[in-house]
Amino acid sequence: MQFNRLMLLLHKEFLLEFRQRYALSGIVLYVLSMIFVVYIASIKVRPEVWNILFWLIVLFASINAVVKSFVQESGGRQLYYYQLTDPASLILAKILYNTLLLLVLSILAFGVYALVAGNPVKDLPLFTLVLGLGSLGFSIAFTFISAIAARANHSATLMAILSFPVILPILLTLMRLSAIALRLIQDTSYRKDIVNLLAIDAILVTLSFVLFPYIWKD
């Protein structure tokens, strides 16, 4: 794995996204529609419900944003990458790109949701940190699972059933941290939760490196 190669692959991801702008617009529109549906369905959103609904919106938006990362590239192109690069750079580039994509998406979702349903966040720095951690965790888990799901026939269904149980520890920790940022619960030892989250991320990213070559080769 070389840094140059990683940067090139990352650049390729951005280029790909830029050339297929409809996909990105689609995801943004998906987030916006979901926020409005949620808002119209429950006009008055209490902070507890706000927290839960926000993370559900981010969860579904993320899964839809990430699922295409391997599906969109045909078998022929995968073969082409196979000759050019190594699996570790490829998965790392995808994870990094998806982290940035999800970060942008979740900040956008937060902005619009706060505008529409009110902003109960009391500790904005912590909440921003939670958004960042969430993007990282979702990106690692979903990118890897989407690589598995892309190999199967019914990838969308498979993506959901494979990733929801795996994402749950991350999601629960995120919801708890964001509840702290909303001052819904008092907990001064939330740093431990952040460490837990980073530990889970570290385990999953290590496994992604180790296991990705087995998914990749056909």
Partner 1 sequence: MWWKSLSVVLIVYTILAGLLPPLKPGITRVAPESAHSGQVIRLQAYGYNSKYTGSDAKDIRFWLEYDSLHALAAQELRVLSDTCLEAVFTLPVRMPGTGQNAYLNAIIDHPKDGVSLLPGALELVQGDSAERVGADWGIGLVQDLHIIKDFTFPYRNVIYESIRNTYFHVPMWFALMFLFVASVINSVRYLRNGELEYDRRAAAYAETGLLFGVLGLVTGMLWANYAWGKPWSNDIKQLMTAVALLVYFAYFILRASFDEPEKGARLAAVYNVFAFASLVPLLYIIPRMFASLHPGATGNPAFGSQDLDNTMRLVFYPAILGWSLLGFWIAGLRIRYQRLEDKVLQIEV
DSSP per-residue string spanning 42-90: TSS--HHHHHHHHHHHHHHHHHHHHHHHHHTS-HHHHHHHHHHS-HHHH
Nearer to partner 1, 102 or 204 (CB): 204
Contact 122, 183 (CB under 8 A): yes
Contacts of 186 (CB under 8 A, 6+ apart): 180
Q: Does 172 bind partner 1 (CB under 8 A)?
A: yes
The one among 62, 143, 173, 178 contacting partner 1 by CB under 8 A = 173
Q: For partner 1, how many residues bind (rule: CB under 8 A)? A: 30
The one among 16, 104, 200, 209 contacting partner 1 by CB under 8 A = 200
Nearer to partner 1, 7 or 168 (CB): 168
Nearer to partner 1, 36 or 60 (CB): 60
Contacts of 180 (CB under 8 A, 6+ apart): 123, 126, 186, 187, 190
Instruction: Determine the length of the chain.
Output: 218
Give the residue carrying structure tokens 């902070």: 47
Q: Closest separation between CB of residue 26 and partner 1, Å? A: 26
Burial of 76 (0-12, 13-18, 19+ CB in 10 A): exposed
The two tokens of residue 97 are 């790109």
Q: Does 214 bind partner 1 (CB under 8 A)?
A: yes
- Residues 94-153 binding partner 1 (CB under 8 A) are 141, 144-145, 148, 151-153
- Residues 149-168 binding partner 1 (CB under 8 A) are 151-154, 158, 161-162, 164-166, 168
Of 31-39, 55-63, 124-132, 207-215, the segment contacting partner 1 by CB under 8 A is 207-215
Nearer to partner 1, 13 or 193 (CB): 193
Q: Is the dihedral of CA 27, 161, 167, 110 positive or negative?
A: positive
Nearer to partner 1, 111 or 213 (CB): 213
Binding footprint of partner 1 on the chain (CB under 8 A): 141, 144-145, 148, 151-154, 158, 161-162, 164-166, 168-169, 172-173, 176, 193, 196, 200, 203-204, 207-208, 211, 214-215, 218
